[in-house]
Amino acid sequence: MKLTLPTILTALGLSACLALLCLGPASVLAAENSTGEIQRSADASTNAMARLMRESTEAAEAASIRAPAAQATPRAQQVEPAHTAPLKPTPVRSTAREQAGDSVHITDKDYLLGYAENGWRIVSGPLRFTRQDWLNAAIVIGATGAFLLADEELNSFWQDDMRSSGTDDASDILGLFGEDTTVAVGSLGAYALAETLGAEREKTAALLVLQTFLLTAPVVGAVKYSAGRERPNESGSAYNFDGPGERGFDASFPSGHASYAFGAATVISDVYGEANPWVPWLTYTLATGVALSRVNDNEHWASDVFAGGAIGYLIAKLVTRYSPFMTRHQITARPLLKDGATGVTLAQRF
């Protein structure tokens, strides 16, 4: 098909829709970080500081009362003042689940509500775009548009010069990690095993991968249904977009495999990456392999997997940001008792 101005405008229009869907979560994060989250953190910090100041003062008074008795006791029998014992940090911001002392469960109320709340954030996010959000949207549009214009050449290069029996064998394995069934059943199975073993972090990762998948699937399906793009193994043209409903939910744009793979990779990186810097390298390399496997198998154009990866990544970031199981941005208060002085030290994780 000849590349014409209407074709280019159509491609860029689809890219713009993708950017609005993908970058909505980013605008919501910025808006809510500057309003409700800050206010809740401030209120919780004030209450915790008052409580800890009272506890610190009472501990200091109790220590001073015991001091004369300790002086009259033989040195070998003296007991070290209680206020020298290490004190556990007290989380100021915590969910209802944490305050109740519960562990991670699939039936957690905050977790279940997160499906509806995050779904609304995805839909309403574009209405809250800031100037920076529009700049980010322009970057996504430009990158997707560049891939669209280069799709046919990239496809020919891979199929003619890169594809081999070795890449086919690798694709057969890598492609499994992007299958919807693999992600859904795998996350549920991982949660069940972690529940049996009492592994809290593993339960967190499994549940957040599951939520990311279930929120990503409708977005991917909606774009596929609307775009109706032909797959490269169906025609030689990268610019055949049949429009809404013409190809159902099996259209080429965007790649569901890439979406699910990058969504899972992002969740696992956020859960484990802080303590294990090698984890993001491993997970994103695997996700990239999944995306390339779809190009290798001639099932997707390069722009399909780029767009899919962007959707999965951004939705996963939204899910981990608002998860009741994650402690990012948590303010921690610690009582301070030193040389007769009492106070509170505060620390925040970013």
pLDDT in tens, 185-232: 999 999 999 999 999 999 999 999 999 999 999 999 999 999 999 999
**Comparing 335 with 116, which gets the higher pLDDT?**
116
Whether the pLDDT of residue 26 is over 60: the answer is: no
Domain that holds residue 240: 5-34+94-328
Q: What confidence score (pLDDT) does residue 51 get?
A: 65
pTM of the model: 0.70
Specify if 71 maps to a domain: no
Q: How many structural domains are present in the chain? A: 1
How many Cβ atoms are within 10 Å of 177's Cβ, its own excluded? 19
- Find the mean pLDDT for residues 104-119: 92
Q: Cis check for the bond before 254: say yes or no (omega within 30 of 0).
A: yes
Specify if 245 maps to a domain: yes
Cα 285 from chain centroid (whole Å): 17
Specify if 66 maps to a domain: no
Specify if 335 maps to a domain: no
Specify if 50 maps to a domain: no
CATH code of 200's domain: 1.20.144
How many Cβ atoms are within 10 Å of 107's Cβ, its own excluded? 6
Q: What confidence score (pLDDT) does residue 288 get?
A: 96
Specify if 340 maps to a domain: no
Specify if 40 maps to a domain: no
pLDDT, the chain, mean = 78
Specify if 202 maps to a domain: yes
pLDDT in tens, 253-267: 999 999 999 999 999
pLDDT in tens, 169-179: 999 999 999 99
- Find the mean pLDDT for residues 299-320: 94
